[in-house]
Amino acid sequence: MILKPEGFVLAVDSPEINQVHALQLHLLTEVDRICRKNNINYYLLFGSLLGAVRHGGFIPWDDDIDIGVKRPEFDQLLDLLGQELDPERYFIQTAANDAGVTIPFAKIRCQHTLFEEYNATKEAEYNQGVFLDIFPLDNVPDNDKANRRMKFQFFYYHFALRRKVENYKSNRWYINFLYALGAVHDIPTLLQKRHDVMVSCDDDTSRRLIAMPSARQDYDDSYLLREQMDPPIDLDFCGHKFMAPKDTQVQLEMLFGDYMELPPPESRLGHRLRRFEIDEYFWKDILEQFLPQVGSSGKF
């Protein structure tokens, strides 16, 4: 185990980040298999989409995978994952099934691994294994006023939930007061109210979809243009083909601007961690299969 209370990041092309990439590539192939078998469209998102286009796989310093699934298929996919994936190896994590978690999306966690982020609650008991993120893609109202109301309501319940579970606090006293008011509700009520906000727009022809974020500053960078999504295309990713939005250039320009330009070296960092461990014996078969496909193969 690597344990550094002051925090650390996994170095590019280190054995540790290569193992993370191998497990995440395996998770993505499993999701792809289940989705294709059940005619569910998913989409590489954010850094994973950028990695596919710019590097042909993982961004070398990135240490997660992001995909999105439209809301009706998202709920279906979680049920299918629960049916098809071995619970001895995988945990389908949501805020509803793992106390201490407040995320508004889902994660597939690898059992017998530890990927404890520096900002995680110390001694937290929820699953903190290596993961793949699955975001529900929800409709966004075209009306600006309705869109702003949806954004406010989402953050009100989301951060009230974080206040309740994580003792989250803002630097602004009036924001703390607002979230404290929301936190008078119990956790199941807050989860339900947040979910109700996320699915509140029933216009399946709206111009935009959103992958609801877990941080305020990400909200306005999380939009997806519906007309650019379907039909999804297949992109090469570490020798595999995975689904991505139809017009990847539009999506990437919205998110990153000149997306083919590398960030400065000091910005090439993954998650800041406190503890890290992978049971190499337990995951031996997967590591042997997928390690040759990751690592230094990513293009700079």
pLDDT tens for each residue of 4-30: 999 999 999 999 999 999 999 999 999
Long-range contact list for 264-271, CB < 8 A, 24+ apart?
A: 268/12, 268/60, 268/61, 269/9, 269/61, 270/9, 270/10, 270/17, 270/61, 270/62, 270/63, 270/64, 271/9, 271/63, 271/64, 271/115, 271/117, 271/118
Q: What is the pLDDT of residue 287?
A: 97
- Give me the phi and psi of 51, to 5 degrees please: -60, -40
Q: What is the pLDDT of residue 167?
A: 78
Q: What is the mean pLDDT of residues 76-86?
A: 97
Query: How far apart are the C-alpha atoms of 298 and 58, rounded to whole Å?
Result: 6
Q: What is the mean pLDDT of residues 254-270?
A: 91
In the chain, which ranges are continuous DSSP H helix? 15-37, 46-55, 71-84, 144-166, 173-182, 187-198, 248-256, 284-290
Q: What is the pLDDT of residue 171?
A: 76
pLDDT tens for each residue of 141-152: 999 999 999 999
DSSP letter at 297 equals: T
Pairing relationship of beta strands 66-70 and 131-140 according to DSSP bridges? parallel
Q: Which residues contact 254 (CB under 8 A, 6 or more apart)?
A: 221, 223, 225
The answer to whether residue 113 scores a pLDDT higher than 80 is: yes
Query: How far apart are the C-alpha atoms of 116 and 275, rounded to whole Å?
Result: 5
Report the top-level CATH class of 2-136+229-293: alpha beta
Q: What is the pLDDT of residue 216?
A: 60
Residue 23: closest CA among 133, 111, 130, 134: 130
Query: How far apart are the C-alpha atoms of 247 and 96, rounded to whole Å?
Result: 34
157, 184 in Cβ contact below 8 A?
A: no
Residue 106: closest CA among 141, 160, 65: 65
Burial of 205 (0-12, 13-18, 19+ CB in 10 A): exposed
The answer to whether residue 300 scores a pLDDT higher than 50 is: no
Of residues 266 and 169, more confidence is placed in 266
pLDDT tens for each residue of 29-39: 999 999 999 99
Q: What is the pLDDT of residue 182?
A: 82
Q: What is the mean pLDDT of residues 109-117?
A: 96
130, 109 in Cβ contact below 8 A?
A: yes
For 188, other C-beta atoms within 10 Å of its C-beta total 9
Q: What is the pLDDT of residue 297?
A: 47
Of residues 124 and 96, more confidence is placed in 96
Q: What is the pLDDT of residue 295?
A: 65
pLDDT tens for each residue of 179-221: 788 888 899 999 999 999 999 999 999 999 999 886 666 777 7
